[in-house]
Amino acid sequence: MKGLFIVSGLGILAMLAEIFKFKKLVYPLVLIGLIAAYAVNFTEWNFDWSQGNPYPLFANMIRFDNPALAFSGVILAVAFFWFIFANDYFKNETNITDHFALVLFTLTGALMLTAYQNMVTLFLGIEIMSIPLYVLAASRKNDMSSNEAGFKYLIMGSFATGFLLFGIALVYGATGTFDISLISAKIAAAHGALPIFCYAGILLMLVAMCFKVSAAPFHFWAPDVYQGSPTVITAFMSTIVKTAAFAAFMRLFLFGFGPAHDKWATGLSVIIALSLVISNITAAAQTSVKRMLAYSSISHAAFMLMAILANNGDMSVPPILYYTFAYSIGSITAFAILYAISKSEGHDGFDAFNGLGKRNPLIAACMVIAMLSLAGIPITAGFFAKYYIFTTLMATTYKWLLILAVLTSAVGVYYYFKVIIAMYFKSSAKSEAVAFDSTTTALVVITSLLTLAIGFVPNFIIDMLR
Amino acid sequence: MLTGLLIIFPLIAAILVFLTKGKTARNAALVLSVLEFIISLLVFYQFKHNPGAKELLLNCTWIESLGIKFAVGIDGISLLMVMLTTFLVPLIILSSYKNEYDKPNSFYGLILLMQMALVGVFIANDGFLFYIFWELALIPIYFICLLWGGEDRGRITFKFFVYTLLGSLFMLVGLVFLYQHTGGATGIKSWALNDLYAAGKNLSLYQQSFVFWSIFVAFAIKMPIFPFHTWQPDTYVTAPTQGTMLLSGIMLKMGTFGLIKWLMPIVPLALAKWGNTAMMMSVFGIIYASCIAIAQKDYKRLIAYSSIAHVGLIAAGILAFNQQGLQGAVIQMLGHGVNVVGLFLIADILFRHTGTRNIDSLGGIRNVNPQFAVLFLIVLLGSVALPLTNGFVGEFLLISGIYKYGAWTAAIAGLSVILGAVYMLRSYQNIMLGEVKTSTAGFGELAKSDKAVLIIVCAAIIAFGVYPKPLNDVTEPAVKALLENLK
Amino acid sequence: MLLNIPLTQYLFYFLSFVALLCGLMVVFSKNPVHSVLYLVLTFFAIAGHYILLNAQFLAIVHIVVYAGAIMVLFLFVIMLLNLNHDSEPHKNMLLKGAAVLAGGLLLMVLTGSLKGAETLAMHQPLNTQVGLIKNLGTVLFKDFLFPFEISSILLLGAMVGAVMIGKKEIK
Amino acid sequence: MIKLIGLVPLFPLIGFLINGFIGKKLSKGVSGAIGSFSILASFVVSLLIFIELNGSAQKSHVVDLFSWISSGNLQVPFSFLVDPLSALFLLIITGIGFLIHVYSVGYMHEDEGFSRFFTYLNLFVFFMLLLVLGNNYLIMFVGWEGVGLCSYLLIGFWFKNTAYNNAAKKAFVINRIGDLGFLLGIILIFFTFNTISYGEVFKLANTGIAAQGTITAIALLLFIGAMGKSAQIPLYTWLPDAMAGPTPVSALIHAATMVTAGIYMIVRSNIFYSMSDVASETVAVVGAATALFAATIGMVQTDIKKVLAYSTVSQLGLMFLALGAGAYSSAVFHVATHAFFKALLFLGAGSVIHAMGGEQDIRKMGALKKALPVTFFTMAIGTIAISGIPPFSGFFSKDEILAHVYEENKLLWFIGSVTSMLTAFYMFRMFYLTFFGKFRGTHEQEHHLHESPKSMTVPLIVLAILAALGGVMGLPEFWGTHNWIADYLSPLIYRKNPSILSHETEWVLMGLAVAAAAVSIYTAYNVYRKNNILPAAKEEDMGGAERFVYHKYKVDEFYEAVITKPLNLISEAFYKFFDLKIVDGIVNGTGQAVNWFSELIRKLQTGNIGFYILAMVAGIVAILFTSLF
Amino acid sequence: MNNILLQSSIQVIPINWYILLSAALFTIGALGVMFRRNAIIIFMCIELMLNAVNLLLVAFSSFHSDAAGQVFVFFIMAVAAAEVAVGLAILTMIYRNVKSIDIDLLGNLKN
């Protein structure tokens, strides 16, 4: 809770920086603030909500229980890495303070999404997160791609919001409340006897959430937006925003609509299957690494959705938590490298990576780790994430999805390895090393090591919520 | 603890080698791998004298909440596989002394890393750990092939990687399925080998069939047996010789080893139902690959196909699942490992000295280098399973085992004895005999390192052909235990 | 006969008709300015519904915010960009057909899901006071305090964003 | 002494190792001496063992060396068995082996691969000794394959010649076909009796615990092995080609010892054949067919070694005929006498070839009597012996066989008799063409004609004596004499058929055989000596039938067309079509399908917001519809 | 008259009709989004969709006699306003660049 306040406060502070002329200080302040938020976050760990209340409960609008704190932790940690990676971006942009503010507001929305307990907070969280993102996506004003990305994101996002709201309204109509725990209780008590429009509402919300996490067939915006947005923002979207969206999705469907599982599971399983197939297969044909990563994020979304599909209540949370973290740090590594490379080579195609194995061996090795992790090869974090999802899903009746997941993973290896092959197998006309500043190098090395470390010793994260 | 050391030491060695520069890398790698061999000898000694010793077991918690442990242990079969690995890796490193690789530190480091993974696969007692090592073995070899391989390596190694990865993903599905069914009464799920065994037996036929096929495919691809083999010849040809040796000498055994220890005892019902199909695949593969080997011109490719034939026999022996079949399989795995390293080294020597591997353009090398001819002949005899070479003991037990399963199956599998002689002798004749050709006139003397490796290989071939008893003694209790387990 | 039916019902039908018709006109009128005006009409119709539903305060806010602010913003942009002529090229017919089809299906599915709504029991006794300003205020500042406060961040974000985007790039 | 049986194979092994490792550095004399004396040492030990065995009451001694293979109840100790059969074979192998080694010192003197030759030869003797000494089938199999290997090495001894290499390869591969049968037989024995040690197996078999079918199967599988090693139809084609090796090799391996391994094996396993009529009849029929078939081919061959090779095949067929008729000791008897005279003949032929400077075509020889007196004399003895003229050794052994066959089956007896007639004819044909008439070679050859050195002639003389007198081992019992070899081997023969022939019949049969041989010899004399008719010099001059026989009934061509070519075709088809196109095609096709599909799906991402939203609505409708209704 | 007006419509109109009406309005909005190429009209259609939701919420709010539904509508309005502000800002920016607000011209990012 305090973390949320700190982050939103930071956002406002960043805005003020313009006026009070301490622009230079904003960056360090933000980093410190994030660390503080992170630290504060965990002081609330294991807080007993039934007992006395040092914080205002806000009528059960928002509740930073353990899963929420864990996801907040992931978001804050990744945000910290992201800010380090994005330092170059913040140096170059003209409207630094605005950017800072927008990013931090988005972050606020993301944190809300991890902890909401009410449809209002869900809705507001999504919008607080999304609206600044629309702007950020479009933030390169003279770049048509960026404009287009922002615009597409906005239109489709608002359209999806419409469905979300319609769904909320229907559910509200059927249950008479916006509180998700009350909704859950009502659904459970009704034993399927609620009016059908209630389930229609749930499904509409499912669709809207699937849109937010970019699952097929509601994924169309993602590749375009990811590609058009500035790389740094793409990284932000594919890590923090995605994590938050999943936290929200999970909270809503596991803790809210869990009792109506039979109504939405079939639809979700189809969505997962479609996402797996479409994302992996389309990614295989990409020539741009950035766009490939966009498609890959769809396939990762499908994996995380599997845990939700399993509907194991609390047991479904750790897999998603782990997955989001593993995926986020892997993506941060990949995007950080991609950012530097595309800046130096002038494009983000696979050929931009040619010969990197010789030119920047260390960076190339980190990229390999990131790719292996995204592809789900042991002992990287990505493997354990997938494994954990597998075990979760294996207990359900949706085993056929696993087979599909396995088959499409093999396709997935194809496009991740295209990068590796380009780095080590193809030769580049240039032989000098691509310039990487020391912060990026350090970040990339740290995230790579982290990828290996949590892949090898995943205990900490998975046992967090026990 | 010793077993832990077996795994950790190559890792440390790999890191050390990564840190070296230039030619010291290979010397360091050689010394370190020999040290690892010595460690494995210690393990062997321990095992012989006190098989239940604590030193041989390691059981640390790893991911406790998911029932995953870092559990390793040694039985007769895994001991031999470990010995094979630790024995072959120094040879493989030594055999590379005449090849100039750039970035030798990475090259040798990757080999040692691979050694770690291989040893891990062989001694893992925990399903998850097994899978991790299984996959881990794939990465170094992929890079060895990709970075130091020959023509068209990008495409070929990629195919190899995806193919095997796909297989192992299916294996993961199968293993996870098993894992989900562990812990019947207590409800505490576990990855421990014995728990998986127990879980497997309680499954229905339908479930067992699912487990059987999902895991079998992974092993079948790794070995590889027909019809999952098409990645193999290309990969063997393209990979640098040391990579090929690792692949065929050791990595292939992961598949057969897995079949013995991680599949057959788990799914008795499915085995009864599907064993026939798998057996037919293996046996057909023997004939099929042997025939194809006859048609080969490229010597390396010829060995590649012959390896498919051999491994088909091993798989068939395992699938027969009886004392002779299993023991034969284990011994043949060792034999094949040693032989195939010898054969691939010979292919490499041929290529280095003459610039070609096409057997039709070679000939008459015996005139120029009779010593090489003799060493070659011994390796070749080992691979055609002449009695008193290591190949024979295994092959005899294998065919016996298969015979117990079905007489006609054994007869067909036994055809490999004949076809093997056909293609092996044909290649020997084309390469070594006849008049000297221009390509071979300047063949010259063997390098000291090559000669050393070949002599060691030949010595091993004969030694274990004449006196295989230690191997039999070590495997017998392990195999008996496995068979007991199935009852 | 007519008197048996309460006036409310007539009003409901009338307002619904207006709302739907104007809604359709928003979609189908060629000139964007007309669209805006139709939309305003729709909003008024909806406001009428609000009043019928005893949500008087909301009705006023609705008029103020939508018709008064948002629609003016729209008009402003249209005028600013000089778009007040029907120059919009048509979508290709296939896509149009598909759009109509999809829209129809959506409606069908949504109405189809109404089945069983009769079982829903109205809250008794009906409290006609919920829409009054006092009541709403209490709820808003008690239960909905947190969303209320946090929506400031939303508006702030939107403001910053709009300003940032709207600013001319300094080159 | 019997306990020291290990020494017997050890000496050749030592010889092999010395020659193999440092032979090149030794002088030819030393190298040859090591080779020869290692065999001599073995011979001496064998002789001592033989004597000791004869003296002792216990006729079978097992000497365990170490445990070789053990797997469950499959226990294969590396152990030796000394009994009358193995002792006799030891003597034959080491004795004749020694003589041939000595002979080779002279014969191979000019060859650059001198020490290599002795290396191989010693290795061969080692394996041959293992073969006969082993106490179980697997040890026999070790020797069995080992001698096959040595045969391969020695046939291809002159490895620069592609034809020789092909012959060597052919020999190895065909032997392997037999070996597979043998191996399966061993495995069947194991699974039937749970052991493969001779003593236990035979004891158990004798109690009749195994089904008749199993016994037959075992017997037939073992016989397949024998067919390969002992060159019986249909696996005989390698043996004539094996003449590519140096002549001493032909004498030792392809006449005296290795090729008789099949007979040894069947005699060893006689119980199975006695118990299965089907098996023994098969053996007899195959033997008879081979004997006749090879003899007819031998009639028209012009290469001196080929004549002898076909004669060997034919004689081996005769031995199998004997085995099939249950005359196990007679077969062994014939093995021994055949070893004497056939080794003699080959060595004599070698001497001739040596003198002729490598020429092997009898059409180019003639009148060598004068130039090579010792050779002529000894070969005359060999020829007479093989033709079955009393009192030379061949007469007794062959007659014994035919008498036993007569008892069993008259038709087979007739075939056997015809074969002996033909044998006498073609042997004398060869003999006359070689030593009589006019010299038909070049001047240069005539100039160089010389008798071979002592090292070659002495073995010839020794063998001639043996060939002449070897018959004493098995004098017919109806003469009232003692048939030593039958008695000697009787402990090994599990089921004996008492002879039912009357003495009169036996006399008649014997007389018929001798008469037939005499007629043949006379015919040969008439044609080749008196009228000096030469075989056609060129193929074109031969008659159609003769040419067909000269080409060995085109069996090789037949095999080529039926086995080799289809195998190569299948291989190519498997590789080029099935493997690359179909199996790999499916794998690559999957990849390509993914690519194709990928390009297709990619098109969905049109970039058009309208389309995206449409797709989204369509998705929503579909999901609502499927989930709710 | 007063008496009639005071009678809440929710008492005489079945809730189904409201849902139907909202659904119809919502669909009209969605149709507009799919149907038109003019970005501004698309925004308006989205507003129409949101209003349909608002109407539904208010209807349910009355139905349940629960103020929360109406409060929710305030938030939706706020969000709608914010969205429109940002949307129109982006739109003008695009217009500045391409001199058009035809969404079909935005198709550079694809495949």
pLDDT value of residue E5: 46
Interchain proximity B388–D67, CB inside 8 Å: no
Q: What is the CA radius of gyration of chain C?
A: 21
Peptide bond into D234 cis (omega under 30): yes
Chains C and E touch (3+ CB pairs under 8 A): yes
Q: What is the mean pLDDT of residues B448-470?
A: 90
Calpha distance B96→D189 (Å, rounded): 46
pLDDT in tens, A388-402: 998 888 888 888 898
HSE-up of B329 (CA within 13 Å, CB side)?
33
The answer to whether B275 touches D554, Cβ cutoff 8 Å, is no
Q: What is the mean pLDDT of residues B59-84?
A: 87
Task: Give the tokens for residue E5.
Answer: 């007006």
Task: Give the tokens for residue B242.
Answer: 């040391």
pLDDT value of residue A52: 56
Q: What is the mean pLDDT of residues C85-110?
A: 80
pLDDT in tens, D6-38: 888 889 899 999 888 888 888 888 888 888 889
**Where is average pLDDT lowest: A246-255, A393-402, D469-478?**
D469-478
Calpha distance B210→A345 (Å, rounded): 49
Neighboring chain A residues of C110 at a CB cutoff of 8 Å: 197, 200
Among A128, A141, A196, beta carbon nearest to C154: A128
pLDDT value of residue C169: 63
Interchain proximity A156–D627, CB inside 8 Å: no
The answer to whether D126 touches D18, Cβ cutoff 8 Å, is no
Task: Give the tokens for residue A391.
Answer: 């075990």
Asked if residue D541 has pLDDT above 80, the reply is no
CB-based contact, E41 to chain D, within 8 Å: no
Interchain proximity A458–B147, CB inside 8 Å: no
pLDDT band at D258 (very low <50, low <70, confident <90, very high): confident
For residue D525, tell me if it sits in a domain: yes
Calpha distance A132→C161 (Å, rounded): 6
Chains B and D touch (3+ CB pairs under 8 A): yes
Average predicted confidence (pLDDT) for chain A: 89
CB-based contact, A128 to chain C, within 8 Å: yes
pLDDT band at A448 (very low <50, low <70, confident <90, very high): very high
**Measured at the alpha carbon of residue A227, what is the angle toward residues A224 and A233, in degrees to the nearest 5?**
115
Chains C and A touch (3+ CB pairs under 8 A): yes
Asked if residue C3 has pLDDT above 60, the reply is no
**At D66, is the secondary structure helix, strand, or coil?**
strand
Neighboring chain A residues of D616 at a CB cutoff of 8 Å: 156, 159-160, 207, 211, 217-218, 220
Last residue of a domain, one of D533, D550, D567: D550
Quickly count: other Cβ atoms within 10 Å of residue C118's Cβ: 11
Q: A272: distance to nearest CA of chain D, Å?
A: 12
The answer to whether B198 touches B182, Cβ cutoff 8 Å, is yes
**Where is average pLDDT lowest: A127-136, B280-289, C43-52, D322-331?**
D322-331
For residue D446, tell me if it sits in a domain: yes
Among C112, C114, C145, beta carbon nearest to A58: C145
Asked if residue C1 has pLDDT above 50, the reply is no
Among E22, E72, E86, beta carbon nearest to A154: E86
pLDDT value of residue D524: 84
Asked if residue A311 has pLDDT above 90, the reply is no
pLDDT in tens, A196-232: 888 899 999 999 999 999 998 899 999 999 999 999 9
pLDDT in tens, B291-303: 999 888 899 999 9
Nearest to D495 by CA among D335, D328, D333, D332: D328
List of chains touching E (3+ CB pairs within 8 A)? A, C, D
Neighboring chain E residues of D609 at a CB cutoff of 8 Å: 103-104, 106
Q: What is the mean pLDDT of residues D394-413?
A: 84
CA D260 to chain CA centroid, nearest Å: 6
Identify the structural domains of chain E with CATH numbers, from first to last: 2-110 (1.10.287.3510)
Torsions phi, psi for B72 (to 5 deg): -125, 155
Interchain proximity D624–A206, CB inside 8 Å: no
Q: A56: distance to nearest CA of chain E, Å?
A: 19
Which positions 82-111 of E are in contact with C (Cβ < 8 Å)? 82-86, 88-93, 95, 101-102, 104
Average predicted confidence (pLDDT) for chain D: 85
Residues D373 and D503 in one domain: yes
Among D594, D616, D623, beta carbon nearest to A281: D594
pLDDT value of residue A211: 94
Peptide bond into B224 cis (omega under 30): yes
> CA nearest D613 in E: which residue?
E34
Interchain proximity D607–E109, CB inside 8 Å: yes
Neighboring chain A residues of B117 at a CB cutoff of 8 Å: none
Residues D402 and D450 in one domain: yes
Task: Give the tokens for residue D231.
Answer: 């060159």
Asked if residue B115 has pLDDT above 50, the reply is yes
- In sequence order, the 6+-apart residues with CB closer than 8 A to the CB of B393 are B328, B331, B335, B464, B465, B468, B471, D69
Calpha distance A405→A412 (Å, rounded): 10
CA B414 to chain CA centroid, nearest Å: 21
- How many residues comprise chain D? 629
Q: What is the mean pLDDT of residues D538-546?
A: 72
Neighboring chain C residues of D610 at a CB cutoff of 8 Å: 91, 95, 99
For residue D421, tell me if it sits in a domain: yes
Residues D420 and D540 in one domain: yes
Calpha distance C82→D571 (Å, rounded): 79
Among D152, D190, D567, beta carbon nearest to B400: D190
pLDDT band at A185 (very low <50, low <70, confident <90, very high): very high
Task: Give the tokens for residue D112.
Answer: 């650059």
pTM for the model stands at 0.90
Quickly count: other Cβ atoms within 10 Å of residue D161's Cβ: 16
Neighboring chain E residues of D605 at a CB cutoff of 8 Å: 110-111
**Where is average pLDDT lowest: A50-59, A265-274, B54-63, D532-541?**
A50-59
Q: What is the mean pLDDT of residues B152-159?
A: 86
Interchain proximity E56–A166, CB inside 8 Å: yes
Look at the block and give the residue holding tokens 């999970």: A250
Which positions 76-115 of C are in contact with E (Cβ < 8 Å)? 77-78, 80-81, 83, 88-91, 95-96, 98-100, 102-104, 106-107, 110-111, 114
Task: Give the tokens for residue C51.
Answer: 């009043």
Highest mean pLDDT among A200-209, B266-275, D248-257: A200-209
Query: Structural domain tally of chain D?
Result: 2
Buried b (16+ CB within 10 A) or exposed e, D214-233: bbbbbbbbbbbbbbbbbbbb
**Where is average pLDDT lowest: B96-105, D195-204, D550-559, D574-583?**
D550-559
Among C110, C164, C170, beta carbon nearest to A135: C164
**Measured at the alpha carbon of residue A375, what is the angle toward residues A369 and A376, in degrees to the nearest 5?**
90
Query: Structural domain tally of chain B?
Result: 1
Neighboring chain A residues of E57 at a CB cutoff of 8 Å: 169, 172
Chain D interface disruption, residue of C91, C105, C107, most D CBs within 10 A: C105
Neighboring chain B residues of A379 at a CB cutoff of 8 Å: 132, 135-136
Calpha distance B358→B341 (Å, rounded): 19
Neighboring chain D residues of A284 at a CB cutoff of 8 Å: 594-595, 598
Asked if residue E3 has pLDDT above 60, the reply is no
Calpha distance C46→C43 (Å, rounded): 5
3-state secondary structure D1-15: CHHHHHHHHHHHHHH
Q: What is the mean pLDDT of residues C84-94?
A: 71
The most distant pair of C-alpha atoms in chain E lies apart, rounded to whole Å, by 62
Asked if residue D149 has pLDDT above 70, the reply is yes
Specify the higher pLDDT residue, C7 or A10. Answer: A10
**At B365, is the secondary structure helix, strand, or coil?**
helix
Residues D516 and D406 in one domain: yes
**Which H or E run includes A250?**
helix A242-250
Asked if residue C86 has pLDDT above 70, the reply is no
Asked if residue E1 has pLDDT above 50, the reply is no
Share of chain B above pLDDT 90, in %: 33
> CA nearest C109 in A: which residue?
A200
Chain D interface disruption, residue of B291, B318, B402, B427, most D CBs within 10 A: B291
Give chain E's end-to-end CA distance (angstroms, integer): 62
Asked if residue B13 has pLDDT above 80, the reply is yes
pLDDT value of residue D428: 87
Calpha distance A244→A309 (Å, rounded): 18
Asked if residue E8 has pLDDT above 90, the reply is no
Q: What is the mean pLDDT of residues D33-51?
A: 89
Last residue of a domain, one of D535, D550, D565: D550
Q: What is the mean pLDDT of residues C37-58?
A: 91
pLDDT band at B265 (very low <50, low <70, confident <90, very high): confident
Asked if residue B187 has pLDDT above 80, the reply is no
Average predicted confidence (pLDDT) for chain C: 84
Interchain proximity A123–E69, CB inside 8 Å: no
**At B60, is the secondary structure helix, strand, or coil?**
strand
pLDDT value of residue C121: 75
**Measured at the alpha carbon of residue A210, what is the angle toward residues A208 and A215, in degrees to the nearest 5?**
140
- Structural domain including B331 reads 2-485
Q: What is the mean pLDDT of residues B205-233?
A: 90
Strand stretches in A331-382, DSSP E:
none
pLDDT in tens, B296-329: 889 999 999 999 999 999 999 999 888 888 889 9
Provide the residue ranges of all domains of chain A, joining segments of one domain with +: 2-465
Task: Give the tokens for residue D217.
Answer: 């199967």
Neighboring chain D residues of B230 at a CB cutoff of 8 Å: 579, 583-584, 587
- In sequence order, the 6+-apart residues with CB closer than 8 A to the CB of D506 are D403, D476, D478
pLDDT band at E4 (very low <50, low <70, confident <90, very high): very low
CA B287 to chain CA centroid, nearest Å: 20
**Measured at the alpha carbon of residue A400, what is the angle toward residues A396 and A405, in degrees to the nearest 5?**
105
Calpha distance A406→A301 (Å, rounded): 15
Among A141, A152, A161, beta carbon nearest to E106: A152
Q: D588: distance to nearest CA of chain A, Å?
A: 13
Torsions phi, psi for D497 (to 5 deg): -100, 120
What are the C-alpha distances in Å from A453 to residues A374, A388, A417, B72, B369?
15, 16, 22, 21, 53
Calpha distance B128→B130 (Å, rounded): 5
ipTM: 0.89
Q: B224: distance to nearest CA of chain D, Å?
A: 13
Residues D390 and D486 in one domain: yes
Calpha distance B6→B33 (Å, rounded): 11
pLDDT value of residue D497: 67
Neighboring chain B residues of A388 at a CB cutoff of 8 Å: 66
Interchain proximity A224–E110, CB inside 8 Å: yes
Share of chain D above pLDDT 90, in %: 3
Nearest to A132 by CA among A92, A95, A169, A178: A95
pLDDT value of residue C5: 64
Residues D437 and D578 in one domain: no
Give chain C's end-to-end CA distance (angstroms, integer): 74
- Structural domain including D597 reads 556-628
